[in-house]
Structure 1
């Protein structure tokens, strides 16, 4: 026979409603009472019925996490794994679970979000990418459903978001390369529709301008966020010229670029990635990369969203997470 909330209440010598409030971590219940009730729950091996709780409290204690890409490509980019680690760590500490799903394109994203919001499976949603005129953001705003985005949205003031200063981060990388004597610098990024690509490209162009170097559009490539797309882009770039250096917007892109460089016996061309994934240090030569603190991005995204869900007073609706350039053999 299964243990009930009444059994726990009897063992702890409190009312069933007090047990319910302890399960919900109600601030009105004293720490001493919480400790006694939780001890009774442990002794009786009582597991709260989460479905019943969600019906009563109108809360599932679950966050939805939407990732980009097809089922085949899911989680190939280490950035999302790192961000998920930060999200799940913070959420677990606050008593929340994570439900993650993915979408192939904009239309699929809106369909997935429609199902999540309509089914009331999740209390809030984390979007892991931001695009120009983002349809997912527009949909969630229309539905007034709690959400946060990793990336800088069009409407910064009225959206919860967390990001790096991507313009500054790329500016510092390109400026450093120029000070090392590099003048002919290629840029390989993801699709231009993604805000992160656009902002890092702005940083690249700003560094060239500040150093009185004319931008050459033939050195700029914006492709998919995949190793193979970067490999093909680098081969195209090498047909145009032999650059002094190549900067990329993601380590995965840097991996593809490095493969093309080595195949063409140009492994000595300076190369920089972004995200500072573990594999970047094991490549030969090891790849310099910008550490964007992906885990911290995820943690603060979860923090913003949970504060929003729980209607807590906050001083800000966004966080800018610091970056750090990690130099390795590819730029030495």
Structure 2
């Protein structure tokens, strides 16, 4: 037979209501009594019935996570496991679970989100991206459920709590770093400028060029969606130009690895023939050959802060929406060289 609150109360010589208050960490119970009751709970092997507690509190103690791509595709993205680790660390501290959308397409991911919200399966949502023509965020605004976006919202900023880096400034710093090494012909390789993070990094690159009075060359701006064959094509197009670039700003580390391989196949040596700087500072940038100079976006912290903001919104619905900017830091390695 399982141990009940009444069993704990009897063994601790307190009222059942006191045990309940200890479980809910009530400030009206002294630390001495809490320690006494918690010791008895441990000795008797009492385990909290989470389903009963959540039902009584009308809470699921679950946070929904809206992924950028399908779950399968996300597993190959270095951003995903690190941001989930940050979210999980905070959720574990506050006894929350997480639930991921599992759709394979944008429409399926949206439908998963609707099912979570309408089915009251979650107390709040974290959206791992910000994107033009996105249906998820407008739906969450309309549904009035607590949610947080990782990335600067494209619309309704004042109505949305978000956590982000200053991606414009980070890309500007990365581009200026290459310029200060003597590079004038600097190309930019993004992923998909429908996503706010890519657009912001492109704008930072353009801002740096304008500030240095370097002409903007449209043929230097490319998009790559982690595809080896596409990487070879882009490398060929850039190298075949009358004035090929001597340096690349690559908007994420996976695409930087693709370009490293594509350039190597064409006997272009990094950093001697081409310098590369990228973003995220995942473990891949540390073990690549050569190790990549990168802008560390502190992905774990992005996840941790987003979960903290969301739990605050869940527990205190009157909390004002806020924006939190996690700083970036340049990590210099061996992929950039003075001209």
**TM-score category (smaller protein):** over 0.9
Match of 2:9 in 1: 9
- In structure 1, how many angstroms separate the alpha carbons of the residues matched to 2:68 and 2:319? 29
SS in 2 for 1:330: coil
Instruction: Answer whether contact 2:87 2:304 (CA < 8 A) is retained.
Output: yes
Match of 1:257 in 2: 259
1:263-308: per-residue Cα shift (whole Å, max 9, x none)?
1111230011100011212111111111001111111101100111
Map 1:43-192 onto structure 2 (within 5 A).
Answer: 43-154=43-154, 155-192=156-193
- In structure 1, how many angstroms separate the alpha carbons of the residues matched to 2:23 and 2:43? 15
Deviates more, 1:11-20 or 1:131-140: 11-20
Query: For the aligned residues, what is the CA RMSD?
Result: 1.9
- In structure 2, how many angstroms separate the alpha carbons of the residues matched to 1:71 and 1:100? 8
Match of 2:202 in 1: 201
Match of 1:22 in 2: 22
Deviates more, 1:271-280 or 1:315-324: 315-324
Instruction: Answer whether contact 1:274 1:289 (CA < 8 A) is retained.
Output: yes
Match of 1:299 in 2: 304
With over 3 angstroms needed to count, the CA separation of the structure-2 counterparts of 1:266 and 1:90, relative to structure 1, is same
With over 3 angstroms needed to count, the CA separation of the structure-2 counterparts of 1:33 and 1:119, relative to structure 1, is farther
With over 3 angstroms needed to count, the CA separation of the structure-2 counterparts of 1:315 and 1:124, relative to structure 1, is closer
The alpha-carbon deviation at position 233 of structure 1 amounts to: 3.1
The alpha-carbon deviation at position 228 of structure 1 amounts to: 5.8
Instruction: Answer whether contact 1:4 1:46 (CA < 8 A) is retained.
Output: yes
Q: How many residues align?
A: 332
- In structure 2, how many angstroms separate the alpha carbons of the residues matched to 1:291 and 1:236? 29
Instruction: Answer whether contact 1:270 1:330 (CA < 8 A) is retained.
Output: yes
- In structure 1, how many angstroms separate the alpha carbons of the residues matched to 2:137 and 2:72? 25
Deviates more, 1:298-307 or 1:9-18: 9-18
The alpha-carbon deviation at position 185 of structure 1 amounts to: 1.1
Q: Which runs of 5+ in 1 are unaligned?
A: none
- In structure 1, how many angstroms separate the alpha carbons of the residues matched to 2:331 and 2:108? 37
Match of 1:31 in 2: 31
The alpha-carbon deviation at position 110 of structure 1 amounts to: 1.4
The alpha-carbon deviation at position 223 of structure 1 amounts to: 3.3
- In structure 2, how many angstroms separate the alpha carbons of the residues matched to 1:192 and 1:303? 28
Instruction: Answer whether contact 2:70 2:109 (CA < 8 A) is retained.
Output: no
- In structure 1, how many angstroms separate the alpha carbons of the residues matched to 2:224 and 2:99? 30
SS in 2 for 1:98: strand
With over 3 angstroms needed to count, the CA separation of the structure-2 counterparts of 1:312 and 1:26, relative to structure 1, is farther
